[in-house]
A = this chain, B = another copy of it.
Amino acid sequence: MTELAELPATPGAARTQGRPRSSRAHEAILEAVLDLIEEGTTVEALSMEAIAARAGVGKATIYRRWAGKDELLLETLVKLKGPPTQPLGDSVRADLIRLLSVVGQKDQRAVRVMPCLMPEVSRSPEAYRIWQEAITEPRREVMREVLRRGVATGELRADLDIEVVVSMLISPLLLHRMVRWNPRLDEVDDLTEQIVDVVLQGVAA
């Protein structure tokens, strides 16, 4: 899996000589982004200049590590999300509810960042790739595993299309978190359960 690799100092050259990059600066930058987001800074006000100033860092120090704002925000989001929640292996239903209940809920700041990345992710294949590999796929894979187990135990239909079901489970919640797709859903705190139940009923063996 291709990583959010740092830019090489000089492409193709040994990266051992000279002063090493300061990990303090690296983290100060990511922290600065999170701080600014937390303070409610709007996207256009979330400028590289503001980030550098907040981090107490020169702008070049940022550009030495990331190719642009989108890359930086993407890595911030990855850091924010962390590894996906793991299923407990109880029932398929309980595991799905467990996995879905954290979609966009763990850290409110992630909800703030995600919509800002949509323009870039929808346009740049590279941004899309990173988004997929670092954010989407790990979570889908966990969910696929739970569904495969359901098929194996005979709980779920053998011919179900796992990708479709995964999308059906995640999409409504994700969209809801991003743009409060339907505000009336806020009153339904068992929205997750309802979705799981409808889908499970629809794909029951």
Contact = CB atoms under 8 A, between A and B. Distances in A.
Interface string A153-189: 0000000110111111001101110111110110010
Contacts of A184: 163
Given A115-B119, A164-B191, A201-B201, 16 more contacts: A43-B119, A118-B179, A131-B179, A136-B181, A136-B182, A164-B172, A164-B198, A166-B182, A167-B172, A167-B185, A171-B172, A171-B175, A198-B199, A199-B199, A200-B202, A202-B202
Contacts of A128: 179-180
A54 interface: no
Most chain B CB within 10 A, of A116, A119, A180, A195, is at A119
B163 A185 contact: yes
26 contacts: A115-B119, A115-B121, A115-B122, A115-B123, A116-B118, A118-B119, A118-B178, A119-B119, A122-B178, A128-B180, A136-B182, A161-B194, A163-B184, A164-B172, A164-B188, A167-B175, A167-B176, A167-B182, A168-B168, A168-B172, A168-B199, A171-B171, A171-B176, A172-B172, A198-B199, A201-B202
Interface of A: 42-43, 111-112, 115-116, 118-119, 121-123, 128, 131, 136, 140, 160-161, 163-168, 171-172, 174-176, 178-182, 184-185, 188, 191, 194-195, 197-203
Chief secondary structure at chain A's binding surface? helix
A168 B115 contact: no
Nearest to A198: B202
A171 B118 CA distance: 15
Nearest to A43: B119
A140 B198 contact: no
Nearest to A183: B132
Given A171-B172, A181-B136, A198 B165 contact: yes
